[in-house]
Structure 1
Amino acid sequence: MQQVQETNETEGKTAILKWFKILREISAEYVETHRQQTGGEGLTVEIDESVITKRKYHRGRIADNNLVWLVGGICRETKEIFLELVRKRNAGNLQGIVMNNVAPGVTIVTDGWRAYIGLDGKGYEHEMINHSENFVDPSDPLIHTQTIENLWRWVKPFLRSKGTNRGALIEYIHEYQLKRAQPNNFLTILRAIQSVQEFE
């Protein structure tokens, strides 16, 4: 009797995990098919990158190519966000992500990372803050990245709570984006399922 009960419990947990995975996949597809550019003419978007996962090698050292970065942006006025995974923080990758996710005419604020240099020639006004000197520009208090830094305080604990499965990382990121955009989780899931079915 006990063995039957344990078998049923195991099967039940497996079924629950399977459904969670299905719902994550639906969330991911919903986010991808409803992607819109963040911000708009006259608005401000802060952009930053943060290490999400890293793998050690050779006595605890960490190789640069084992880092996974999350590039994020948030519009100060609308609170819209975007999140993108990237392995290399070079100009081609970062500026490509910005142009895909941020509407033209936006004022972009970043830290002093050199890969962002040149955004002001791509349809944006670009302000930079050197964090080695200040976190808020003393000559202009609007030049800061504190809004995106605050976003990381929500995103990173959420991702840590999901575990370290790199293969599912993008699904967890999309799950966070969907929950943030539509806080009513039950209705969000129903809309996502309906939308994905209609899209197919």
Structure 2
Amino acid sequence: MLDLNTLLESKFGEYELGLWLAGPNAMYNYGTAEDKRERHRQGVTMLEYFGILPQRENLPNCPRCQSEMRAGIDNSRVLGWRIICTGGHIYQPTNNTYVEQVLLKVVGADMVVWAIRCFLEEVPMKEFMEYTGITTHTAVAWYRYARDVMVKIAAHDYDRIGGPNDVVEVDESHIFRRKYNRGRLVTWEHVWVVGGVSRTTRRVFAVIVPRRTAQVLRDVLVYHVDLRTHLCTDQWAGYRTIHQTFRNGHTTVNHSTNFVEPVRMQDPLWVPVGRFTEACLDNRMRGPPPEDGLVPFRSHTQTIERCWRDLKQQIGNGKKVDYASDYVGEIM
């Protein structure tokens, strides 16, 4: 994968890049008004390059009348142009984009690039504030806005994971408990997240649920996982009848005794070649198969459990379901 700095410098040049992506110790709001306008211009170029803003020479057809659209000059707008179709419909270039709710004239396109870059590189909030000179409230709002966009992308572009030759690890994890005060009574509601990961593609789904009953688990899995998929789960009672829906196999692991089934000191399950993709098999098995045409397979949920560990570290002490759902969208 190409390093981000290498990509930016190869496209925009080291000198120009330094105008608005200065080093960590540089003040963001430096330079004259002309310097700031130049950084904004380069920020717009960057957003257009990555498709966050539309490019004037490559506009789609009008979503209302399917007519051809073109760019028209409009100096009253921060980008200096707008989109006009032959049918007379007018759009702003920021419509339905990441920056639609951002006041670019006040914030500057370079600030948007800074925020995106810091979020994607998981820059700590304190450092992000030092880079940009913004307040804690603004920094938190930027990061949460990015997570909200991720939630929308995950929901809009979602496609079921798994398939006939794939294995999906499914597990549920307890996030926290919500408390409701009613008179002298205190009622606790457990908040769970149910998710799965494809061993072939490493694509993940995750959903916050109030309960982990058999019906809830079945509905979640039917929506997110291809019905031709082989499932690996723990031995929670809610999965006992899931084989009636997912008929391509369902293996379990007993977490009270081990984390892999069969355990490492025992022979694996031998399945026919082509039953699963290479990524689904036990690649640590070095012994010969009992007969030709067989490959080793073991059931475990370690991959999805690793996702839960990362999720809980990111959520931290947050105790709101909406707050947690932002991080679930980020994982997806």
Same fold per superposition (TM over 0.5): yes
Superposition pairs for residues 1-200 of structure 1, below 5 Å?
12-55=135-178, 65-124=188-247, 125-138=249-262, 140=269, 142-160=298-316, 163-177=318-332
Matched residues, percent identical?
A: 31
Shift of 1:104: 1.9
Structure 2 stretches of 5 or more lacking a match?
1-132, 263-267, 270-296
Shift of 1:11: 7.7
Deviates more, 1:77-86 or 1:122-131: 122-131
| Contact persistence 1:105–1:123 (CA under 8 A) | yes
Q: CA RMSD in A?
A: 2.7
Shift of 1:154: 1.8
Pair 160,14 (structure 1): closer, same or farther in 2 beyond 3 Å = closer
Distance 1:166 1:123 in 2: 30
Determine helix, strand or coil for the equivalent of 2:161.
coil
Distance 1:18 1:149 in 2: 29
Distance 1:119 1:84 in 2: 18
Shift of 1:152: 1.9
Q: What is the TM-score when the length of structure 2 is the normalising length? A: 0.45
Shift of 1:18: 3.1
Shift of 1:112: 0.5
Pair 168,150 (structure 1): closer, same or farther in 2 beyond 3 Å = closer
In the other structure, the counterpart of 2:291 is: none
Pair 171,78 (structure 1): closer, same or farther in 2 beyond 3 Å = same
Over residues 109-164 of structure 1, what are the superposed CA-to-partner deviations in whole Å (9 max), with x where a residue is unaligned?
Answer: 10001111222111332112222233222353511222222222222212227x33
Determine helix, strand or coil for the equivalent of 1:39.
coil
Structure 1 stretches of 5 or more lacking a match?
1-9, 178-200
Give the number of aligned pairs.
164
Over residues 8-48 of structure 1, what are the superposed CA-to-partner deviations in whole Å (9 max), with x where a residue is unaligned?
Answer: xx984433333333333222211111111111111000100
What letter corresponds to residue 154 of structure 1 in structure 2? D
Determine helix, strand or coil for the equivalent of 1:104.
coil
Report 1 or 2 for greater relative contact order, CA contacts < 8 Å, sequence distance ≥ 6. Answer: 1
Determine helix, strand or coil for the equivalent of 2:146.
helix
Q: What is the TM-score when the length of structure 1 is the normalising length? A: 0.71
Deviates more, 1:133-142 or 1:69-78: 133-142
Pair 22,41 (structure 1): closer, same or farther in 2 beyond 3 Å = same
| Contact persistence 1:50–1:69 (CA under 8 A) | yes
In the other structure, the counterpart of 1:182 is: none
Pair 55,142 (structure 1): closer, same or farther in 2 beyond 3 Å = same
What letter corresponds to residue 176 of structure 2 in structure 1? T
| Contact persistence 1:159–1:173 (CA under 8 A) | no
| Contact persistence 2:162–2:226 (CA under 8 A) | yes
Distance 2:327 2:298 in 1: 32
Determine helix, strand or coil for the equivalent of 2:316.
helix
